[in-house]
């Protein structure tokens, strides 16, 4: 099953080009949601669209009790404005080491960080696993080189609980124009930017 693509065109008053971004959602058997993003431009411009969906697999007031595993050995520390400092830090020995998976506690630490999956976009591969206390699991597969994880510490929606859900956002590394050693996000005319993400769901029998 697939849906018609949603197309967004940017205006020159917003960015230095006229760009077209297409988002195509597909439902794949047995229980996968697939998002195919693509973008073109008529002049050089920065391009890093992000899907900002929230996930709570138990339907409970908070995500406490969820297990989280991320196949990333580096992450991006942030400053007081939550912008990357430019350092690319190993997760080893930090609370951000989720390579073996664990059940994080709300606020210990606060999460709003990019986890570095690779130094450039690559093939579709599984990179993150989220499992609710009731057993429903979600596996994230993406071609993106990074994934931003936000724990909802300011709320996922107006009037919602703190830590209500995780925002899990496959992306190029954020604030790349300020840090030349980050993967480039410049899109040129004649190029097609593409990114594929799949959310694969399963429930133990």
CA 69 – CA 99 distance, rounded (Å) = 6
Instruction: Note whether 41 and 17 are within 8 A (CB).
Output: yes
Choice among 52, 87, 126, 188 that is catalytic: 52
Task: Compute CA distances 57 → 23, 111, 126, whole Å.
Answer: 24, 18, 18
Do residues 130 and 56 touch, judged by C-beta distance below 8 A? no
Q: How far apart are CA 20 and CA 9, in angstroms?
A: 5
Distance between CA atoms of residues 175 and 185, nearest Å: 9
Pick the catalytic residue from 66, 113, 164, 169. Answer: 169
Q: Is 52 a catalytic residue?
A: yes
Catalytic annotation present for 169: yes
User: Which residues are part of the catalytic machinery?
Assistant: 52, 169
């Amino acid at each position: 099953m697939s849906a018609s693509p949603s197309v967004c065109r940017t205006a020159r008053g917003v960015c230095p080009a006229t760009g077209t971004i297409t988002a195509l959602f597909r439902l794949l058997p047995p229980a996968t949601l697939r998002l195919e993003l693509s973008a073109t431009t008529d002049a050089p411009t920065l391009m890093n669209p992000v899907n900002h969906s929230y996930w709570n697999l138990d339907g409970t007031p908070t995500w406490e009790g969820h297990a989280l595993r991320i196949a990333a050995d580096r992450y991006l520390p942030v400053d007081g404005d939550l912008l990357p400092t430019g350092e690319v830090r190993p997760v080893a020995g930090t609370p951000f080491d989720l390579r073996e998976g664990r059940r994080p506690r709300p606020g210990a630490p606060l999460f709003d960080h990019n986890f570095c999956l690779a130094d450039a976009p690559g093939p579709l591969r599984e990179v993150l696993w989220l499992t609710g206390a009731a057993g429903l699991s979600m596996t994230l597969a993406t071609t993106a080189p990074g994934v931003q994880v936000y724990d909802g510490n300011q709320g996922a929606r107006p009037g919602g609980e703190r830590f209500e859900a995780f925002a899990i956002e496959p992306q190029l590394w954020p604030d790349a124009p300020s840090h030349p050693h980050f993967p480039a996000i410049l899109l040129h005319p004649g190029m097609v930017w593409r990114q594929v993400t799949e959310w694969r769901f399963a429930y133990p029998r």
